[in-house]
Structure 1
Amino acid sequence: MELDVCNKGAIPLIHHPDCSALGYQVIRELGCNKEEGRITYLAYDPKSKQQVVIKEFSFASTCTDWSGFKAYEREAEILQKLKHPRIPRYLDSFETQTGFYLVLEYKQALSLSSKHSFNPEEIKQIAVSILEILVYLQQRIDPIIHRDIKPENILVDEELNAYLVDFGIARVQSAEIALTSLVAGTPGFMPPEEQLGYPLSLASDLYSLGATLICLLTNNRSVDIDKLINSHGCFDFQKLGSQINLRFRSWLMRMVEPKWQYRYANAADALTALEPIGATGSATVMEVLLTGMKLRRQTTFLGLAVIGMLTVAGVTLILSEQGGVAQQLQEARE
């Protein structure tokens, strides 16, 4: 499990927590969140002869308070309930004089925030992989909402298998989400209903995933996500490359609809809609028109947008192909 590190290069052993009495040998730092007093280490467990991840919630940080302990407690509680090959397993937890520690399964994978050169088809594959995890979380008897999906919390291995990490602010939907007034998450990735203090739904994590995919498609870092949002608070889809298939673009637009009622109802619906779509390639006339109509909610220049897209799509050439308009309508229905 590789994350963004605070300090480049090797870190002297004296800066590592001494976990030897608890049976773990700390190897190096993987990543940190200074603001919230969390540091993640790679360690070795002699008993299992496996590498593990130790996540430290430090008392030493001046920013760490009771909420830091609650995040530790919540993440440990939730992870103990989960069994999914692409969610690092809970292994152990302990407390020292300097903080609380979680021991998690190690995954040989890099954070999405450490690479920004995925092509659209690879990004679609990552989306499918994360949606499969969300389907698992949402189809539990007590559905779990992650609440902080962003590039930093998604790991990807060499085969583009995605792993979801950091359940520190996750909630069980039925009880805690509807009652809490605490706004959590990362600005830009946080769904509007979270910012406004409304109850979250199974569509809330879809917004965060959509925002993450848009960052990847536009080669933008998480900290620059505000550059992708227009003055109306909506994502500017004109920043996506022209090679993006309009059906994929339309799918993304629905994922990040400001009103949760207009998004896919859940991860299973979003996954079913995404799987047959190509990330690149040309679109039919009806797909161009439907995408233009959806843009109407985000811009007053519908006529110009549709005309521009029709020109790019080459309507005259498409209509002259075998089957004409009837074939295009049938394709759009499918």
Structure 2
Amino acid sequence: MKVRVAVLLVLLLSLTGTGALFAADQATAQVTVQVDGREIVFPDAKPYSVTAGVYVPVRIAAENMGISVYWDASASSVRIGEGNGAVTFKPENSANGNKPFLKDGRVYVDLAFIKDKLGAEAVWNKEKMTVSITTKSNVLKGVQLFKQSMVKLTGEQVIYIDPYKVDGEPKDGDLIFITHTHGDHFNLDEIRKVAKSDATIVFPAKELDKVTNAGFENVVGAAPGEEGTVKNISYKAVPAYNTEKSNHPKDREWVGYIITVNGASYYLAGDTDLIPEMENIDADVAFLPMGGTYTMAYEEAAKATNLIHPRIVIPYHYADVVGTRDDAVKFIDLIEPGITAILMKE
């Protein structure tokens, strides 16, 4: 039976056409890896450089490209991707030209493999110690997670969800979605930092006056179960509440959102516990809180993930106020095969 890779797969990205070698003092320098302009977070093994090239954990790299990676223990083979587009290979037991090979329980591939088999560009910038991978199609392209539950989706429109402790004043937001009125999700000054002058704010309907009374003109109310389209972006408001805690009562009608951008659907759960309504959530990418105390802890968030079964799950609402990075790593271990879990926070 094919199971998700248990051992760390490592991607060898080598210099091509230059014959240059890295200086010995670069062997321990920090290597940064970006996919479509977004820096990757590595939860365990880190990328590193040696005299012949730079090594990057391929499972993390591929999953951040939106590609699943599986290890077939019975056949000692690797499968990257799904369906007719999947790439399956049995690595060599040692380095053999440009073929994928095993070394110390790791699988390595070179730059040509990424280009020819995975259809992405991979460029090594020696001066900046940065690997830049550019994909042709990736549901995570334009997706950024910031502090707490602040998410930015960039496509035809720039969308912010729950802006919080924003750096600078980008003022590039076409749409601002607010899940509820707690201070780490709703703050008028934070909205003003990200909103264009003609931005539209989607806000819990029962408390709409909190933004209309503040002078915002383009405001749309959202109640659980309601659907809408604003500036060619379709969305659905879904319930978000605590089942036993008192922090997020169901009768406040606070919400999460399913937002469709560039043909992909993103579920931003807001502050919630595992609730029955999640059984009806259908999304490509799910952002789920797992900080505990005010929302689900990591065990419950994993159950929610396995119930929803998105292609990709990204935990949020941890490591800023409550919850730890260690919880996020434990969360990944509880996710069922076929779901890719990605950490976007250090």
Answer whether TM exceeds 0.5 for this pair.
Answer: no
How does the TM-score come out when normalised to structure 2?
A: 0.24
Bigger proportion of residues as helix: 1
How does the TM-score come out when normalised to structure 1?
A: 0.25
